[in-house]
Amino acid sequence: MKPTLKAIWHRCLLCLQATEQHICTLCLADCGFIHSHILRQNLLIHNLNDSEQYFVHDVIINAKFDELWVLDIYQYPLTVLIPKLKFYNQPHIATLLAQWFVLYRVARMDRLPEALIPVPIHWRRMWQRGYNQSHLLCAELSRRLYIPCLENNVKRKHHTRPQSELNLADRRTNIQDVFTVDTDSLASINHIAIVDDVVTTGTTINDLCRSIYQVAPHINITVWCMGLGVFEPSVNKQTTD
């Protein structure tokens, strides 16, 4: 009898049914970000366009960077997938999220950065967790896009409380002046993308951007994140003018 190749079966990461992919066809159809028109663009310019709806969000209002590209609002399926990646050491989820980001967001971009930088974590948290989920995402995006990942060029010099445990005011003071940047490594680069798993209020990203601008004021900074948290639903412009 002639041998045949058998499909490699997995359990769907969302519904746990048998599937050849990490996410089954039915669950993939429930992922609203795939068909979202608003998320197919740099969100920092969305409110400037002639649109009936706009975002009310601290990240956009207080942005200290040039572009913001988001895979999805931090809702299902990200509320299932990202905690597994962040706390349960499931690196294959970083592969899945990077694949989605390339297919549904990078494909819409007019230009790509020259380098990718993961949001760093302090060595103490790295020792406790064993990995940095932002670096896993960044490394996978780097591999797929052939863009270098500068994993050691920005470091976190202070150990701080997790931002998720704090309110907005405490987040801002908790994260101030905690990053150091290698000046020489950014001297010849004009455009970078900072990669993170979830951006909530934007305080961490903004402080990181300020640290980068202090040593490389010429640089253009784009933020790539998988999930955008603390989301206010779009509202009609006519009711808020």
Digit-coded pLDDT (tens) for 36-72 = 888 999 998 876 665 556 666 788 888 899 999 999 9
Give 165-191 pLDDT, tens digit per residue: 444 454 445 455 788 898 888 999 999
Same domain, 19 and 58: no
Residues 92 and 52 in one domain: yes
Same domain? For 6 and 83 the reply is no
pTM for this structure?
0.83
**203 shares a domain with 85:** yes
pLDDT at 241 over 50: no
What is the tally of structural domains in the chain? 2
Which stretch, 23-37, 113-127, 133-147, has highest mean pLDDT? Answer: 133-147
DSSP the chain: ----PPP--EE-TTT--EESSSS-HHHHHT-GGGG-STTSS-HHHHTTSS-SEEEE-HHHHT--SSEEEEEEES-TTHHHHHHHHHHS--THHHHHHHHHHHHHTGGG-S---SEEEEPP--HHHHHHHSS-HHHHHHHHHHHHHT--B-TTSEEE-S----GGGS-HHHHHHHSTT-EEE-HHHHTT--EEEEEEEEESSSHHHHHHHHHHHHH-TT-EEEEEEEEE-SPEEEEEGGGT-
- Residues of the chain with pLDDT > 70, as a percent, come to 79
Residue 137 shares a structural domain with residue 85? yes
Do 232 and 164 lie in one domain? The reply is yes
Domain range holding 222? Answer: 32-239
Instruction: Examine the domain organization and report whether 172 and 142 are in the same domain.
Output: yes
- Together in a domain, 145 and 26: no
Same domain, 1 and 13: yes
pLDDT value at 233 more than 60: no
Give 19-33 pLDDT, tens digit per residue.
888 899 999 999 999
The CA radius of gyration of the chain, in Å to the nearest whole number, is 19
Is residue 8 located within the same domain as residue 54? Answer: no
Q: The tokens of 176 are what?
A: 């101030």
165 and 54, same structural domain?
yes
Total number of residues shown for the chain: 241
Residue 207: CATH number of its domain? 3.40.50
- pLDDT, position 84: 94
- Token pair in block for residue 154: 């920005």
How high is the pLDDT of residue 14?
93
